[in-house]
Structure 1
């Protein structure tokens, strides 16, 4: 559990539960991964939406944004492969206080890699909005 204040663009390590896993009745993510937080406005105290960051190239028709190498290196995201933020699958949670946060492997008392730049987050938020308007977003609730 972390006391890191949630801010849009914060990247944390998280036990992300994919909607397909949730549909099969699973309640925990199979793999801890970096995720990008987006803090919804006027939804509830500490309410956040987290979008997974993956090294698997998205299939055509999926809503995703490639993470620029400069952003990936600056945050020291694991690995050296290209990665994407998937914007058509998400978890909703409450932070601080989520039990699904996982400490960083390199810093066992920290959960956050850092924050994406405001310029990159504008691209992410615009694409997220397009995904929501197209009704592509699948959300899995993870609140305690």
Structure 2
């Protein structure tokens, strides 16, 4: 059983399914990666939208926010270079009961790294609001 409650800014390990993979008929993410729980969308608070973190620089057509180095170090996210949270696509799923969760290395009951700071989440939410207003947000549903 998982040991967390979903909340805005929580960073978890998850088999993220990119929209291009879903459109090609794939049903599971190819790689476990950190994702950020940004939007609880259901009345119970367990239905959420997850946004991927990546170390690959986003293309000019992507909407993303660079993760500050202090946030990366505080959450002990892997990698030496910059990371971004992609905000023009996400996965909708139910937490904490999702089959797509993956435990943090060496700790089979811990599925999260921690929570991004409120200051950083204000930047993320402002950018996400821009994506929603511009109708650029694409969501892949994973909870079926």
User: Under a length normalisation based on structure 1, what TM-score does the superposition of the two structures give?
Assistant: 0.95
1:53-76 CA-partner distances (Å, limit 9, x unpaired): 000101113110000000000000
Q: CA deviation at 1:81?
A: 1.7
Other-structure match for 2:83: 83
Question: Equivalent residue for 1:111?
Answer: 111
Gaps of 5+ in 1: none
Contact persistence 1:10–1:37 (CA under 8 A) = yes
Contact 1:66 1:82 in 2 (8 A): yes
Write the distance in 2 (CA, Å) between the matches of 1:117 and 1:72.
11
Q: Distance in 2 between matches of 1:121 and 1:40?
A: 14
1:64 maps onto 2:64 in alignment = yes
Q: Please give the alpha-carbon distance, in whole angstroms, between the structure 2 residues aligned to 1:106 and 1:67.
A: 24
Q: Across the two proteins, how many residue pairs are aligned to each other?
A: 143
Counterpart CA distance in 1 for 2:105 and 2:137 is 30
In 1, Cα distance between the equivalents of 2:20 and 2:2? Answer: 27
Q: Provide the TM-score with structure 2 as the length reference.
A: 0.95
In the alignment, the residues of structure 2 paired with residue 52 and residue 62 of structure 1 have an alpha-carbon distance, to the nearest angstrom, of 12
3-state DSSP class of the match of 1:122?
Answer: helix
1:24-68 deviations in whole A, cap 9, x for unaligned? 100000000000001335x33211100000001011131100000
Please report the RMSD computed on the Cα atoms of aligned residues, expressed in angstroms. 1.2
1:129-140 alignment, distance < 5 Å? 129-140=129-140
Q: How far 1:10 moved relative to its partner?
A: 0.2
Structure 2 portions without partners, runs of 5+: none
Alignment check: 8 A CA contact 1:2 1:101 kept: no
Partner of 2:55: 55
Change (3 A) 1:37 1:19: same
1:2 aligns to 2:29 (yes or no): no
